[in-house]
Amino acid sequence: MPTTFIRAIHDAMIEEMRRDDSVFILGEDVATLGGAFKATEGLLAEFGPERVIDTPIAESLIVGTAIGAAILGMRPIAEMQFGDFISCAYDQIINMAATLRYRHGGGARVPIVIRAPSGAGVHGGLFHSQNPESCFFSTPGIKIVAPATAYDAKGLLKAAIRDNDPVLFFEHKGLYRKVQEELPQEEYIVPIGKAAIRRKGTKMTFITYSAALYPALSAAERLKEEGIDVEVIDLRTLKPIDWETIFQSVRKTGKVLIIHEDRRTGGIGGEISARLSEELFDHLDGPILRVTSEDTHYAFSPPMEEFILPNVEKILTKARMLAGY
């Protein structure tokens, strides 16, 4: 039976909690309710209230508690009910979790995972649609993960739980029940820091991650009919980025289109573009282009939200423009 994206996350947590008694979950409504999206459904019954903990509506408290527990040897999974509200815990993440290992000369660790349901396209409006990954991208000491498939959601979450550094785990809400696949019965881990090539090609490279992978793949298939053979890279991990896979692809194709749902200004695509310009300029056969959300707040109105977000047609327009160089 195929496993949904949200079920893959659920199964990863339950497997790790069975494997390691130091793993526990805390967050708003994660216990009795089983989570706003049912990611923690049934965990309270199996593990009890000491390992599945309902907290007040206070993201700073949730992350601060997780940091303290991690320092004392636990492996907390802290859930932000919506990724938008991770900003309330910004100080704890940036000034405490991210710096602790450095401040102690490598003698301390903070093995926490902060799960953050994020992303638009679900008509969530201003406060339930944001993609906040770029807000943390420049900070040393944390890792950032953004899976696009059920397989990766499970494998990367298990890797994140076992990691000794803080990991921000961004889950696109639009993928929760839309994406599903058959998963292996045996245990597996997807390593943090390794991208996946979802489609091989020779004429152009699409670099993307999270839910933007799917319009990118759809556009790539349509472009094939026009003689434009596209390679599609799913970053999976945003920090650290798998530069080796990106560079190998760009050396081969010479043309790059970066696609992500986060806004254009200050988005991760800008850093990728700058790095490629600095290090692979002689391999480029055209400008590095981007397809992103517009530089505005996410709208509640479905037609307006669609106007703001990247989609297949926007990708096709930019890709055809790039192919003309």
- 231 within 8 A of 197, measured Cβ to Cβ: yes
- 144 within 8 A of 133, measured Cβ to Cβ: yes
| DSSP labels, 258-320 | EEEEEESTT-HHHHHHHHHHHHSGGG-SS--EEEEE-SSPPPSSHHHHHHHS--HHHHHHHHH
CA atoms 276, 278, 279, 284: torsion sign? positive
Between CA 18 and CA 323 the distance in angstroms is: 51
Q: In terms of Cα–Cα distance, which of 186, 180, 118, 124 is closest to 153? A: 180
Q: Map tokens 């699409």 to a residue.
A: 206
Across-strand partners of 143? Answer: 167
Q: Which residues contact 156 (CB under 8 A, 6 or more apart)?
A: 145, 147, 169, 190, 192, 236, 237
Q: Can 128 be counted among the known catalytic residues?
A: yes
Q: Which residues contact 167 (CB under 8 A, 6 or more apart)?
A: 112, 113, 114, 142, 143, 144, 145, 160, 192
CA-angle at 90, arms to 86 and 93, nearest 5°: 100
Amino acid at 115: R
Choose, from 10, 104, 123, 128, the residue flagged as catalytic: 128
3-state SS class at 168 = strand
Q: Map tokens 């790059």 to a residue.
A: 256
Active-site residues: which are they?
128
